[in-house]
Amino acid sequence: QVQLVESGGGLVQGGGSLRLSCAASGRTFSRYTMGWLRQAAGTEREFVAANSWGGGSPYYADSVKGRFTISRDNAKNTVYLQMNSLKPEDTAVYYCAAGTKFRPVHPTEFDVWGQGTQVTVSS
């Protein structure tokens, strides 16, 4: 089973950028759909973006379309989330997740989780 470790979170001003990384261990990384989800204080965890193992286009939550980009490097067992034009409402703990379902969206559709990394966007 794959294990996930996120990095790259931090504090940034509104309008700024951050890139999150998620390093995966395990030889079956390329078989997983890799995604990013986030959870703001007092709210439920929500889908942000994902990239299916089988190819096809990455897909995004409407709230981040045009600002965030997910990518993966199967040779490095790493998935990235480039976040541009950040807004205070993007403040949350961001989780990397892996799933075997095709195009998962709901948190329950992901099977493996990282520990999370805090992203804070100041106004």
**DSSP label at residue 108:** G
Q: What pLDDT is recorded for position 55?
A: 59
**DSSP label at residue 4:** E
Q: What pLDDT is recorded for position 8?
A: 96
**Is the C-alpha dihedral spanning 23, 112, 92, 63 positive or negative?**
positive
Q: What pLDDT is recorded for position 66?
A: 97
Amino acid identity of residue 82, one-letter, is Q
* pLDDT average per 10 residues of sequence, the chain (123 residues): 92 98 84 93 97 80 98 89 98 95 92 96 96
- Give the number of other CB atoms < 10 A from CB of residue 2: 16
Question: Could you read off the pLDDT of 86-101 as tens digits, one per residue?
Answer: 999 999 999 999 998 8
